[in-house]
Amino acid sequence: MKYDDYLPVWDEKKAQRLRNGSRRCSWVPIAVAISVLLNVIFVFGPKKAIPSGNPQAPSLTALDNYQHLNSQPIVNAAFMSTTTPVNSNENMIVTSLYTDAFAPGVATLGHTLNKVNSSAGRLLLYLPEKISSRALCIATSTGFIPYPIKRIPPPYEGVHPHFLDQYSKLTLWSLDSLGVQSLVYLDADTLVQRNFDELFSVPFNFGAVPDVYIDEPGFTLGFNAGMLFLRPSSSVFERMVAQIGTANYRAEDAEQSFLNHFYGSEAVRLPYAYNANLAIKRRKPELWVDLKKEARVVHYTLVKPFLQGDYEEVEVTQLEKNVVGQYGAWGGLFKEELDDWAEAWRETLQLHGTMIAECRRGHYRV
Ligand SMILES: *[C@@H]1O[C@H](CO)[C@@H](O)[C@H](O)[C@H]1NC(C)=O
């Protein structure tokens, strides 16, 4: 018969199954009773059955209350496999040199970019009137291409003495004139530990990493301007330059405060791995431990391995000694990071020492 398995609307077998089913329904009142009992135990039972969490937690930021919870990588590999490769003419890593003292920092940064096989182009913005040929030669010995720029003077009084040249950083936005579509800016006091080519696939116009202070306010909403992702635009550049002297912001913090106001509601918050600020190690050591597993860029904010005194130059031959001299800073907290920098500097000398020596003898190739 064609409809062997077909049950008519009513048949005795089905009726039997339904009756059995309805007998099962007689268990429902028992289940409800158990449920009610369990609820009574849940509500009135001993409180220690339910972990109470940390009552202080709501008054801490999640970062001051940091715990090792997440182990997912910060970049999605499947998504990255769909993106276009980095193009060294359109995607650039840019740093800056406003004083000779930072030249070994730039050279070492360049070496660490080589070491992680960074695919982007490299550009070094410098102020020709302030930078000696010797320093420029050392700074570019590991691959940065020198690019002279015009200084943008501070529009307000009261700028921190270390930040007097920092408005020149806004020049980054004008680099579309060179065909640059996206760039990562790194301060000269940063060291690269992992490749970060993925940043060039960020679709937004601007991204940066939130700033961190050792004392209050600690982890903040505002970003640190030592590492920036941006898509240059000369019209944005002109708008910025027109506004630096009229906008209302904290003059002491110079371009960082201006940029925080300019991009206040549009900046994309990038993971701390892109600007692993030493202040995090001091503020929340547990967070630093996890951060080191993913860190792309370490930012030497609290110690400067290649400087002495108040941002003064250290002779190239004295750099290792200078690093050791800083071991004791902050109660010895940054010895490991200082050693990381010293190791990168030794490698820089191994690979580029001949050129650096020629720079120091006055044989410039730039
Ligand atoms: C960089 O590339 C070289 C040569 O292809 C390779 O041997 C090395 O492992 C790469 N380094 C990293 C960090 O991927």
123, 94 Cβ separation under 8 angstroms:
yes
Is the per-residue pLDDT at 324 higher than 90?
yes
Structural domain contains residue 13:
no
Q: What is the pLDDT of residues 219-238, one digit of tens each?
A: 999 999 999 999 999 999 99
Q: Under DSSP, is residue 154 helix (H, G, I), strand (E, B) or coil?
A: coil
Q: How far is CA 212 from CA 82, 192, 225, 228, 343, in A?
A: 34, 19, 12, 15, 26
Q: Which atom of ligand 1 is nearest to the CA of 116?
A: 13
Task: Examine residue 15 and state whether it is found in any structural domain, yes or no.
Answer: no
How many structural domains compose the chain?
1
What's the CA gap between 147 and 305, in Å, rounded? 25
Distances (CA, A) of 111 to 108, 122, 229, 350: 5, 12, 21, 11
Q: Could you write out the DSSP letters of every residue in 259-303?
A: HHHHTTTT-EE--GGGSEEHHHHHH-HHHHHHHTTT-SEEE--S-
Q: What is the pLDDT of residue 37?
A: 74
Task: Give the Å distances, CA to CA, from 275 to 16, 295, 322.
Answer: 71, 8, 24
Pairwise pLDDT comparison (156 vs 180), residue with the higher score: 180
Identity at 350, one-letter amino acid code = Q
pLDDT single digits (tens) 248-268: 999 999 999 999 999 999 999
pLDDT digits (tens, 9 = 90+) for 87-126: 999 999 999 999 999 999 999 999 999 999 999 999 999 9
Residue 346 has pLDDT above 70, yes or no: yes
Q: Which residues contact 222 (CB under 8 A, 6 or more apart)?
A: 210, 211, 260
Residue 268 zone, left/alpha/beta (φ > 0; ψ -120 to 50; rest): beta
Residue 104 counted as domain residue: yes
7 has pLDDT over 50: no
- Asked if residue 354 belongs to a domain, the reply is yes
**Interval 303-314: pLDDT, tens:** 999 999 999 999
CATH of the domain at 226: 3.90.550.10
Count of CA atoms in the C-beta half-sphere (13 A) of 350: 7
Query: pLDDT band for position 349 (50/70/90)?
Result: very high
- 241/171 Cα distance (integer angstroms): 9
As beta bridge partners, residue 185 has 94, 228
C-beta of 119 in contact with ligand 1 (< 6 A): no
Instruction: Say yes or no to pLDDT of 19 above 90.
Output: no
Our answer on whether the CB atom of 72 is closer than 6 Å to any ligand 1 atom is: no
In SS3 terms, 173-221 reads as HHHHHHCCCEEEEECCCEEECCCCHHHHHCCCCEEEEEEECCCCCCEEE
Which residue(s) pair with 186 in the sheet? 227
Is 307 part of a structural domain of the chain?
Answer: yes
CB 155 within 8 A of CB 244: yes
Q: How does the average pLDDT of the chain come out, rounded? A: 91
Mean pLDDT for the stretch of residues 157-170: 93
List 284's β-bridge partners, or say none. Answer: none
Q: Does residue 273 fall inside a structural domain? A: yes
Domain around 101? 77-361
**Domain-embedded: residue 6:** no
> At residue 316, does pLDDT exceed 70?
yes
Answer whether residue 301 is part of any domain.
Answer: yes
Q: Which of 117, 196, 296, 347 to mutate to test the pocket of ligand 1 (most atoms within 8 A of CB)?
A: 117
CA–CA distance, 209 with 206 (Å, rounded to integer): 11
Q: What whole-number distance in Å separates Cα of residue 292 and Cα of residue 267?
A: 24
Q: Which of 1-10, 22-31, 54-63, 117-126 has the lowest mean pLDDT?
A: 1-10
- Cα–Cα distance for residue pair 254/280, rounded to 1 Å: 22
116 lines ligand 1 (CB under 6 A): yes
| Alpha carbon of 117 to ligand 1 centroid (Å) | 6
Average pLDDT over residues 12-21: 54
Show Cβ contacts of residue 264 under 8 Å, excluding neighbours closer than 6 positions.
Answer: none
Q: Is 320 helix (H, G, I), strand (E, B) or coil?
A: helix
Average confidence (pLDDT) over 74-84: 97
Nearest Cα neighbor of 105 from 84, 126, 85 is 126
- Look at ligand 1, atom 6, and give the residue with the nearest C-alpha: 117
C-alpha to C-alpha distance for 212 and 217, rounded to whole angstroms: 8
**Contact 194 CB / ligand 1 (< 6 Å):** no
Alpha carbon of 118 to ligand 1 centroid (Å): 10
Residue nearest ligand 1's atom 1 by CA = 117
**Cα–Cα separations (whole angstroms), residue 108 to 51, 338, 352:** 50, 13, 10
